[in-house]
Amino acid sequence: MLNHEKVIFQMIAKNNGFVTAKEVTEAGIPRRCLSHLTEVNQIHKVDRGIYALPETWEDEMFFLQYRFSKGIFSHETALYLHGMTDRTPGSLTMTFPFGYNTSSIKKQGAIPKICTVENYSLGISELFSPAGNVVKVYDIERTLCDMVKETHQGDIQVINQAMKDYAVSKEKDIARLMEYASILRVKEKVLSYMEILL
């Protein structure tokens, strides 16, 4: 038991203060060890299947992705993670493949978007959440295409600023942006932005 607990604490140390029940099971440790550590207040349960040290800062993005592993952070949330907007998202936005039941994610207060199964995996990458945990997010090129595709009146300033920041970014990949724009059928809109900015 003590050895198991030591391993759990090593896992927590590696994981930024968190461990999941799934990781513990995969390591061959009985889940009752988690229950015991919770009972003696050495760790606490922060969400279904997620445990943390009492002093760990809760990470809403990490929890959401753990519970809805098919969800990829997208749109305004992805812009925020890429540092392309200073507007903190009021609600987190995640994209799911067509056919996914999004009712439970709506109950969590997040905004689900649905895309075709063919386009779902286009541009998936990883970034750190503000709390320092790795989360899946669409790359900046895919994010810009998604934002342009769904322009609402309130988003125009956000998109304009993100496009300006992208145009001067050393990491920009115009070929990739155009490839994605073609696939997602927003090439004309993206071109009109780029012609003004480049």
The pLDDT of residue 196: 81
Is the pLDDT at 154 greater than 60, yes or no? no
CB atoms within 10 A of CB 15: 16
Most confident stretch, 12-16, 29-33, 125-129: 125-129
Strand, helix or coil for residue 8: helix
pTM of the model: 0.83
Tell me which CATH code domain 2-57 carries: 1.10.10.10
CA pair distance 36, 34, nearest whole angstrom: 5
Query: What are the backbone dihedrals phi and psi of residue 43, each rounded to the nearest 5 degrees, phi first?
Result: -135, 165
Helix and strand counts by DSSP (H, E) for the chain: 11, 8
Dist. CA 153–CA 157, nearest whole Å: 9
- Please state the domain extents for the chain: 2-57, 61-197
Q: What is the pLDDT of residues 36-79, one digit of tens each?
A: 899 998 898 888 888 988 887 788 898 899 889 999 999 999 99
- Asked if the model's pLDDT at residue 173 lies above 80, the reply is yes
pLDDT tens for 12-26 read 888 878 888 999 999
